[in-house]
Amino acid sequence: MVARTTMVAMTQDERGRLELIVPRADELMASTDQSPDQVPAHIRHWRREWLKSCAAVTGFFLVVLTISVLSLRSGSALAGWVAAYWPYLLAACLLLGMVHASVNAWTFARQWRAIKRSTLGAFQIDARAGVVREERHALRDCRAVHEPEQGGRIYLLRTEDSRCLVVFDSQSFDLAQSGGDPAQSPLRPAREAILRWAPVSGILLNLEFRGPIFPHGPAERVSGSLPDWACHGRIWELDWGEVERLLSKG
């Protein structure tokens, strides 16, 4: 389990990170306050998709109408009625296509507003509350793993209850992508990890190591599944015994 979890005041640096998100959130939230029959500004560029949808549905009804007309016997009363009202039938096909495309766009706009209100609103709540959830982990061991696809370093850290805390060294990934040595990243895991989370949105705002530093050596290469970026700052599903067995196979 986590050694200690407390709610503490947000630092200026952490507030600054949230404020990089909140102004954009405010802009997007404002765009959702339009009336339901208006298309929000951020999807106006989708007019081409609206035209495609309208054309597809209109074309479908035109094909159905054409097949129906061709199947009618010449000289029948229905055939005469179709001939008389042919322009109106063509207009009806176009109208149905426009209605279908518009309903789709309106439905999507409503869904988009609901999603943004639920997700972006969390950032605003965190920024206004001004507190973070602080986790402190006491660590017993550290293993550096080489990420094979991008070349960065992943740190697997043994907690007091022998679970595995995962930390991705983002600077080592940047070095690997630019042709540098990932081992030159300044991140040095130590005996205590302090993680500070935005409590509502769940964003990791800060990660700090304190205490004696673990030995810094080359990253181990592992043949097997590794945690992904979603695990950064979180406990992996493997306990430490399984982690060591995984590393021994590398």
What average pLDDT is seen over the chain?
Answer: 82
Q: What is the pTM (predicted TM-score) of this model?
A: 0.63
Measured CA to CA, the distance from residue 11 to residue 158 in angstroms comes to 28
Q: CB neighbours of 237 closer than 8 A, spacing ≥ 6?
A: none
Predicted local distance difference test score (pLDDT) of residue 164: 95
Predicted local distance difference test score (pLDDT) of residue 121: 74
Predicted local distance difference test score (pLDDT) of residue 140: 96
Calculate the CA 52 to chain-centre distance. Answer: 27
Q: Residue 208: which H helix or E strand, with range?
A: strand 204-213
Calculate the CA 77 to chain-centre distance. Answer: 60
Predicted local distance difference test score (pLDDT) of residue 102: 84
Map 91-153 to HEC letters.
HHHHHHHHHHHHHHHHHHHHHHHHHHHHHHHHHHHHHHHCEEEEEEEEEEEEEEEECCCCCCE
- Is the torsion defined by CA of 188, 194, 200, 205 positive or negative? negative
Question: Residue 21 in contact with residue 143, Cβ under 8 Å?
Answer: no
Per-residue confidence of the chain (250 residues) as pLDDT tens digits? Answer: 556 899 999 998 888 888 776 655 444 444 444 444 444 444 555 677 778 888 888 888 888 877 877 776 555 666 666 677 777 778 888 888 888 888 887 777 777 666 666 666 788 888 888 899 999 999 999 999 999 999 999 999 999 999 999 999 999 999 999 999 999 999 999 999 999 999 988 899 999 999 999 999 999 998 778 999 999 999 998 889 999 988 887 6
Q: What percentage of the chain has pLDDT greater than the value 90?
A: 42
Measured CA to CA, the distance from residue 165 to residue 207 in angstroms comes to 12
> Tokens 């209109």 identify what position?
58
In degrees and rounded to multiples of 5, residue 176 shows phi and psi of -65, -40
Q: Residue 81: which H helix or E strand, with range?
A: helix 77-84
Measured CA to CA, the distance from residue 155 to residue 6 in angstroms comes to 24
Measured CA to CA, the distance from residue 47 to residue 51 in angstroms comes to 6
